[in-house]
Structure 1
Amino acid sequence: MRVTKKLLLGTVIATAALTLAACAPSTGTTSPTESGEAGPAEITVGVITSETGPLASYGKQYLDGFKAGLEWATDGTDEVNGTKITVEYRDDAGDPDTAVGVAKELIGDGVNILAGSASSGVAAALAEQAGQNKVLFLSGPAAADAITGINDYTFRTGRQSAQDVATAGTFLGDLEGKTVTVFAQNNAFGQGNEAAVKAILGGKGATVNSVLVAEDVTEFTPFAQQVLAGSPDLVFVAWAGATSGAMWQAMSQQGVFDAVPVVTGLGDSATFGAYGEASEKISFLNHYFPGAPDNEVNDTMIEAVEKAGGTPDLFTPDGFNAAIMLVQAIKEGKGDVDAMVAALEGFEFDGPKGKLTVRASDHALIQEMYQVKLVSDGGAFTPELVDTVPADEVAPAEKQ
C-alpha cells in the first residue's frame, strides 16, 4: 500500500535538535516562526548544478528528477503549508569558482537553501559556503566521501563512494582472508578508490593490493598480466576516460575474466556500450538504473520524467530525493535554518530506491545498492538486476 505524500513528508524520526550560534537570512513576506505558527509566504531555493560543461548530462538527470520530485511532493502546487517554493536554477559549468560566485550572490539575496551539484569539487565548495554562511545545503550526486559530515548544514541526497566500494565487497561475501586487487589509473581518482578499498574492504578482513597505471599508458597487456600474477579473489576496477576501451580489451585478451571475478561501477546509460567483448563478463555495482527498484515512487518518477521529455538515468533519483527533503525541511522548519536542519536529521522517507534514512550524526543517506550485469539486447547492452544489497550492509562508516 502506498503511503500518502502528506503522511510520508511528515514522517520524522526525532534525534537531537541542533542549537546553533546564528540564524541565516530568510526570504518571503513574513519571518519564519516557531513550530505551530504560519511559515513565510515564499521561500526561494537555489539549485546549482551543471547545465553545461563536462558533467552536463549528470546535471540534467539530477534536474529532471528534482523537478519531478517537487511536483510529486507538493501535489503539483509548488507549495507546502501555504509557503510558495520558488526555485532559482543556476549553472555551475562544473567549476567550483563559478559555483561559489553563484552561491554568494544567492545568499546575498537572502536565499538560505541551496541544492546540487554533480561535481564533487563543486559540492565541497558549496558545503564550505553553507557552513560559513549557516545556510542549508542539500548535496546532490557528487560522491566524494569527504562531503558527509563536513558540517552541520550539509546533507546528502544521493549515495557516496564508500557505499560503492562496500557494494563491490558483497560480490565476495565474507572478506576475511580474501585478496582484492585494485586496478586503477595512477591519478587522484584512482588513488582515491585505492584508499577507499583499503579502508573499507581491508577493514573487513581483506588483503588489498594495487596495480596503478600512469594516465599516458596506452598498452595495458603487462598490467593485466600483473593483475593475474597477484592471484586475487576479486579485482576492483576504477577507470575513466578515453583509454577505457583498450584497457577492457587487454583484460579480456589476457584471460582475466576467466580467472577471477572483476567488479566495477556501472555508470549512466551512455556508458553501457563501453566495455566491448567484456560487457557480459563484468560484475557491476550500481547506484540506480530504472529497472532496479520495484515500487510506486520509482514508477511515478519514471512516468513524470518521461512525460516531460527526459530519460530516467543514474542520478535522476538524487534530484527526486532532494525535492522530498526540501519539502520536509520547509514543512517542519518554516524557513528557519536551525529548524530545517533538525527536521532532516533522522528523516525516513520512501524514495525511488525504496526506504531511505538521513543519518542524524553525519547526514549520510542510507540506501540500498545493486549488483547488476549487462546483457546483450538487439545489438546493444542493457542492465539486468542480479541482487539488491540491503542499505545497512553498505552503510558508510559513521562520522562523529
Structure 2
Amino acid sequence: MIGIGRRGLLTGSTALLAAPALLHAQPAGGVKIGLVAVQTGPQAALGTQLRDGFLQGLRHLDGKLGGLTTEVVHIDDELRPEVAVTKVRAALERDRVDFVVGVVFSNILAAILRPVTEANTFLISTNAGPSTFAGRGCNPFFFTTSYNNDQVHSVIGQACEDRGYRRVFVMVPNYQAGRDAVAGFKSRIKGTVVDEVYVPLTQLDFSAELAKIAAARPDAIFTFMPGGLGVNLVRQYRQAGLANIPFLSTFTVDEATLPAQGEAALGFYSAASWAPNMDNPQNQRFVRDFEAQFNYVPASYAAQSYDGAMLLDSAIRKVNGNLANKDALREAIRAADFRSVRGPFKFGVNHYPVQDFWLLKVARRPDGKFWTETDRKVLEANVDPWAAECRMR
C-alpha cells in the first residue's frame, strides 16, 4: 500500500517519483534506486534528511536520472545491520534495483557493502564514509559523495591547534565511526588528550561524563555525537554550566539536531564540507527549494544526498542510459561531471571526494531558525589519509 506522507512524499516499501498524483508501472528503460535511510528510533531525523535530500534532487531533475524514469525503493535499515542486509538483499534480488544509495551510519554500510558490490551493483554512500573502505578495502563498485570519516574530525584537530587549545577532552560513541573520529582528530592535534571516553551508541544520559569534563577542566571538548545523542548531550552540557569550555564537534550540532537543541547550541562549533549559507547558485537553489518543500533547514545529510542524485544523473547521461556496461558506468561516475552544492568536487583514486572543509558555527537566522554558518576554511582540496593505500587506479 502506498500512501502520501505529511510532507507530500510517497511512502511505503516502494514509491515512484513521477508527475504529481500520477502512479504507473515502471516503463522499460527506467532506473531503480534502493534508498537506504534509517527511519526508526531517535536517529530517524538523520535518515529523513538523507531521504529528503535525494528526493529533492529528483524533483529538480523532473523525476528522472539521466533522462530515465526513476523509481525509488525505500529501505529503513532500523539502525540494525542484520535488518539492513535482509532488506537490501530483497531490493537486489526481488526489486532488482540498479543502484543502492544512502546509509547514515558506518556499521550499516559495513554490513551491506559486500552483498551489494558482490552483485556487481554500485553502492553510493551519501553519508557514511568509514576508513575501512578508503584504503586497502577500496572497492570498484563503491563511491561516496560525503567524506572519509577521518577528514571531518581532523578539521577540529586543526582548529584546536590554530586556537592554541593544548588540553582537550574527547568523547565519542563506541563504534567504527567513533573510532575514526578520534583517529582523525588526533591526526592534527599536537596537544594532550586529557581523557578519551567511549559511550554506547544508544546512550542518552551524560551526567557521569559531564562530571568528568568538569573535573578535568580542559581547554576544549571534542565530541562526535550524531542524532539523538547530540540533542541530549548539548542540552545537558549547557544545563551543567559547562558552556564556558569551548564545544567543538562533528555531526553533533547541525541542521538535523538544531531544531531540538535550539538556543542550547548557540555558538557551538562543528566541521563539514558544506554549510547551508554557502554562496553559490546550486546551493542557494537547493536550500531555498528544500525548505519550501519540507519546511525545515537541510543538513549535510540532505546536501550530500542531493549531490548523490546529481552524480547519478550525470553518470547515466554520460553512458546514454546504458546501465549494463559496468566499466563505462564506473568511469562516468568517477568523472563526477556535475555542479555540487559545496563547490569544488572530484573523486580521488579510492572513490572518496577531494574537497574543502570548513569550521562552522551555530547561529540564529533573522527568521528565528537555527543553522550552521561557515566560520573559516580549514582544509583545501583535502585528500583523505587512506587514499594512497587504495590499489585502484
TM category (shorter chain) comes to 0.7 to 0.9
Q: For residues 273-324 of structure 1, what are the alpha-carbon distances to aligned partners after superposition, in whole Å with 9 as ceiling and x for unaligned?
A: 63866743x3332454422x11111122123323433434211111111111
* 1:245 corresponds to which of 221, 225, 235: 235
1:321-340 matches, within 5 Å, as: 321-333=307-319, 334-335=322-323, 336-340=325-329
Partner of 2:34: 46
Which structure's CA Rg is the greater one? 1
- 1:355 partner SS: coil
- 1:349 partner SS: coil
> For the residues of structure 1 that align with 2:196 and 2:73, how far apart are their CA atoms?
45
Amino acid of the structure 1 residue aligned with 2:298: D
Partner of 1:93: 78
* 1:372 corresponds to which of 338, 360, 363: 360
Q: For residues 342-386 of structure 1, what are the alpha-carbon distances to aligned partners after superposition, in whole Å with 9 as ceiling and x for unaligned?
A: 222242532111121122x21112233322223466887553331
Partner of 2:279: 294
Contact map agreement 1:249 1:278 (CA 8 A) in 2: no
Contact map agreement 2:151 2:184 (CA 8 A) in 1: no
Cα 1:209–1:51 change in 2 (3 A) is same
Partner of 1:201: 188
| TM-score of the superposed pair, with normalisation by structure 1 | 0.73
Q: For residues 138-192 of structure 1, what are the alpha-carbon distances to aligned partners after superposition, in whole Å with 9 as ceiling and x for unaligned?
A: 11222433343542211102234212212113324569x9745242157336554
Q: How much does 1:68 deviate?
A: 2.0
Partner of 1:268: 255
> For the residues of structure 1 that align with 2:73 and 2:209, how far apart are their CA atoms?
47
* 1:134 corresponds to which of 120, 130, 149: 120
Which stretch has the larger CA shift, 91-100 or 379-388? Answer: 379-388
Matched, 1:383 2:376: no
> For the residues of structure 2 that align with 1:390 and 1:121, how far apart are their CA atoms?
27
Partner of 1:223: 212
Which stretch has the larger CA shift, 264-273 or 147-156? Answer: 264-273
| Higher RCO, 1 vs 2 (CA within 8 Å, ≥6 residues apart) | 1
Cα 1:389–1:185 change in 2 (3 A) is closer
Partner of 1:283: 269
Contact map agreement 1:211 1:226 (CA 8 A) in 2: no
Partner of 2:289: 304
> For the residues of structure 2 that align with 1:164 and 1:66, how far apart are their CA atoms?
22
Contact map agreement 2:150 2:180 (CA 8 A) in 1: no
Which stretch has the larger CA shift, 375-384 or 112-121? Answer: 375-384
> For the residues of structure 2 that align with 1:371 and 1:392, how far apart are their CA atoms?
15
Cα 1:217–1:353 change in 2 (3 A) is closer
Matched, 1:343 2:332: yes
Cα 1:318–1:28 change in 2 (3 A) is same
> For the residues of structure 2 that align with 1:312 and 1:386, how far apart are their CA atoms?
18
Matched, 1:106 2:85: no
> For the residues of structure 1 that align with 2:263 and 2:65, how far apart are their CA atoms?
48
> For the residues of structure 2 that align with 1:124 and 1:213, how far apart are their CA atoms?
20
> For the residues of structure 2 that align with 1:219 and 1:207, how far apart are their CA atoms?
22
Contact map agreement 1:55 1:119 (CA 8 A) in 2: no
> For the residues of structure 2 that align with 1:97 and 1:329, how far apart are their CA atoms?
31
Note the residue ranges of structure 2 that are not aligned, 5 or more in a row.
Answer: 1-25
> For the residues of structure 1 that align with 2:65 and 2:363, how far apart are their CA atoms?
43
Amino acid of the structure 2 residue aligned with 1:99: A
- 2:249 partner SS: strand
Which stretch has the larger CA shift, 120-129 or 143-152? Answer: 143-152
Contact map agreement 1:180 1:236 (CA 8 A) in 2: no
Partner of 1:11: none
Aligned-pair identity (%): 20
RMSD, aligned α-carbons? 3.4
> For the residues of structure 1 that align with 2:106 and 2:89, how far apart are their CA atoms?
18
Note the residue ranges of structure 1 that are not aligned, 5 or more in a row.
Answer: 1-26, 30-40
> For the residues of structure 2 that align with 1:180 and 1:348, how far apart are their CA atoms?
43
Partner of 1:118: 104
